Chains A and B, each alone.
Chain A
Amino acid sequence: MQAKLQILAIVASSGLVLIVFELLRRRRLIERYALLWLGSSLLLLGLSIWTGLLEVISKAIGIVYPPNALFMIAFAFVLVLLMHFSLAISRLSGETKVLAQKVARLDKDMRDLSAAEDGEPLPGVSAEVEETVSN
């Protein structure tokens, strides 16, 4: 690999490592999401320093120009990270839904409680039904 290109690759990947580390240190990023970023940026850093391994990999999968293998590996990591985010977003939207349902239920119970304090009948519950419930 050309010296210029290698220097660029090393600077870029070590910059990524530093940014991820700094975000972790400032508690902006939690470990759960940092691990994949750290792993991929450290591997890219390793590959751009140790070009011998990169050449072995590119030969093994039939890539003539080794830096292309570096781009391919970086792209693969981007895909994995995107999938990771999709999973995280799915989980978060599930959690938000559960929270909203819980808040709605608590809101109703609060209104019913204050209505009962004022001696008003429960809105939406017919007197007949109430009687059978109390019996």
Chain B
Amino acid sequence: MGFLDRHPRSLAIVPAYNEEGNVRYVVEAIHAQAPDFDVLVIDDGSTDETATCAREAGAQVLVHPFNLGIGGAMQSGYRFACEEGYHEAVQVDADGQHDPAEIPKLRAGMREHEVDMAWGSRFLEQTDYKAPFTRRLGIWLFSVVLSAISRQRVTDPTSGFRLCNRRAIELFARDYPHDYPEVEGILMLHAHRLRAREVPVQMHPRRDGRSSITSGESIYYMVKVLLAIFVGLFRRRPVVDPGFEAPVAAERGI
């Protein structure tokens, strides 16, 4: 049975790692503000009660046996969306930064500009967002690089608040990048001639607890992602198409 046989459904993917303090609030906010979205929480190897809190709040939950990182968590979500026949999927972070009330803005942006992915930018309009220096440096650097490669203005490349249609879901289910996957994800769409566009949104500071990334780590990630972007420019197709060799395949040659 194909996904078109059923009526179109939407999925909110919430990647969560040790977010027991926030996940219940986020799931309930999505139910309240975007009631046509099913909620899937990916518990990425949490050691606290994240999965239980998410189930109690009425979400479907996938539990990773150990921590795979944000890229692996999001790919689990896109795989689920792909296999279950969802026609659109929105990523909402579990720390409460993303306001589910803004999802209609993403949807309107996606429809209006006929793009395959719309993502929320904190910087298209004046917002009161404050970030540590290394994080702002990374955002600036990736904005410049991505704007040049994709030939469109990119202001917030690390924003994880993004809505994908079925084509983008199928692409991301097949292959999804590891670190700062948001940045590379935009490039993947571009390389596959899928269209993406920024939409201005408001974001909140984290509700509870602290972000897990230190400034030393963000510099390391920055170098790694720049390398990935650079090498990607020399690939004819950065990711596999259907019928190509699998992304994880048995060794051949060297």
Interface residues of A (CB under 8 A from B): 21, 23-25, 27-28, 30-32, 34-35, 38, 94-95, 98-99, 101-102
Contact = CB atoms under 8 A, between A and B. Distances in A.
Interface of B: 65-66, 178-179, 223-225, 227-228, 231, 234-235, 247, 254
Chief secondary structure at chain B's binding surface: loop
Contacts of B65: 98-99, 101-102
A32 B223 contact: no
Contact of A21 (B228, B231, B247): B231
A32 B223 CA distance: 10
Given A27-B247, A32-B224, A98 B234 contact: no
A35 B224 CA distance: 7
Chief secondary structure at chain A's binding surface: helix
A25 B234 contact: yes
Contacts of A38: 227
Contact of A24 (B66, B225, B231): B231
A35 B178 contact: no
A31 B227 contact: yes
Contacts of B223: 35
Contacts of B254: 23, 28
A132 B66 CA distance: 34
